Amino acid sequence: MRPDLDVFKGRDSPSPVREKVHAPNLISLTGRSLLLRRAYVQQALCSPSRTSLLTGRRPDTTHVYDLDTYWRKVAGNFTTLPQYFKNHGYNTLGFGKIFHHGDASGNNDPLSWSEPYYETKPEVNGFATDGNSWRAVPTNLLKSNSLQDTITTNVAIQKLKSIAPKARSGQEPFFLALGYHKPHLPFVFPEKFLSYYPDDSIHLPPNQYPPLDMPSIAWTRYPELRSYKDIAHLNASGEPNTTLPANVVKALRRAYYSCISYIDEELGRVLTELEQQGLADDTIISFFGDHGWQLGEHGLWSKHTNFDVATHAPMMLHIPGLTDQGIVTEELVEFVDLFPTLVDAAGLPTLQVCPEDSSKMDVCTEGQSFLPLIKQPKTDNWKNAAFSQFPRHQNLRHQIMGYSMTTGRYRYTEWVGFDGTHYKPHWSALYGAELYDHYQDPQENVNLVHEPAHKGLVARLSNRLHAGWRHEVTTHQGPSIIG
């Protein structure tokens, strides 16, 4: 999910063109939350991003860069966010898509949950897309069937009803994780949501071309979207300086935003149930997307890059009594920060920062609790950069990793050789670099890395990138905002 609600608009928005999103429940939640307008994922791909967030560690520590690798098998027996709450007396319950399913999580990481995980099966029968990239499901079909995310909501609501008495009495606190599949491809949603996005209201992105002087290694041919039948028929190559037909671009954007509105309605049902069960005043609510999404910007689709539009994602945190009036911060936050933040917000023992080698440590974090931003949404005592990365596999023996650092003004990236045995970069093996000025060029249309005027800046940013995240965080630890 992209941070495309109006509340995310600002100088650092990666695209000036966005549709008017119909999402009343999300907008209402933002007004009662700490809204993190500049939150960045550690890798723009489902499993690496979710694994990083749920373990509190970065991809080079989890050793997860793809959709198949399970961190407990390749990196360490790392305690997860829900597992930590479970170990401290919470009833932990999971529904939908939280971990990436299948081998990547040992089938939803059973150690994390108090009860068997509920994973909804994909749409079948009347909801099949026939191999196409999107489908608006007619209302008459919905009368006898339900979409995947609707079923997930139904089950989660029933569970809320059953656990509410013990939760209200304080006998059994709960940690409930609800993961929606949409707006993932294929874009499947109830037809009624198209009415919020008339054809003439949908815009083309203003920059359907790659950045000037972009290194080729930064590009992806968006194979995920091109694998769908309707897109494959177009014979799209996915190469730089090619685009999909305008009508197809608009149709895909319309379907994507319809999915957002659909999920907003499902979210609203859950929030209403919290109110009805008398739980709303005592429940912390965290909302986030697992990465951003390219909707034709640069001529790209899906994720699989380090571009801001792919790594920049929505995140907000509602804490009753603390964020009820709404708080907005422009400070840089990383998704790896959520684990220590929720631990502090719930008053559990604070996580310590992981050492360089944390493979034998079950519990620690490579993030930083952003709870202090509730009291000081604008502060100098905060991290100065967010770090993302994405691998490029040239062949089985030759690997490249793109390490990207977003600061208050710039995004700087180096594509370098990568030691897949020791999970270390070879900074001297440089295959391309990028520098974008988000003040002057938030769309990232011009790579400035080779401009003579920026030689000194590039050297300074390169040094910071090589030094890594440990040199950018503050020394604050602990829940200073609570208790």
Catalytic residue among 22, 100, 298, 438: 100
356: amino acid identity, one letter: E
Look up residue 458 and give its two tokens. Answer: 């590039």
259 is a catalytic site residue: no
SS3 state at 104? helix
Q: Any idea which residue has 């198949």 for tokens?
A: 68
**Buried b or exposed e, range 292-318, using 16+ CB within 10 angstroms:** bbbbbbbbbbbbbbbbbbbbbbbbbbb
Distances in Å between the Cα of 352 and the Cα atoms of 49, 87, 145, 258, 478 are 21, 17, 47, 41, 9
Sequence-distant (6+) residues with CB within 8 A of 47 are 64, 66, 67, 68, 69, 99, 100, 104, 105
Q: Radius of gyration (Cα) for the chain, nearest Å?
A: 22
Distances (CA, A) of 449 to 360, 435, 452, 462: 39, 5, 8, 11
Gap between the Cα atoms of 432 and 217, Å rounded: 7
**Strand partners of residue 137:** 190
Alpha-carbon dihedral of residues 28, 33, 38, 41, nearest 10 degrees? -100
Bond before 122 cis per omega within 30 degrees:
no
Which strands, in side-by-side order, build the sheet including 285-288? 285-288, 315-318, 34-36, 327-329
100 is catalytic: yes
Q: How far is the first Cα of the chain from the last one, in angstroms, to the nearest whole number? A: 34
Q: Exactly one of 22, 46, 291, 438 is catalytic; which is it?
A: 46
How open is the CA angle 274-137-135, to the nearest 5 degrees? Answer: 110
* Side-chain-facing half-sphere of 375: CA atoms under 13 Å: 10
Residue type, 416: V
Q: Could you give the residue numbers annotated as active site?
A: 46, 100
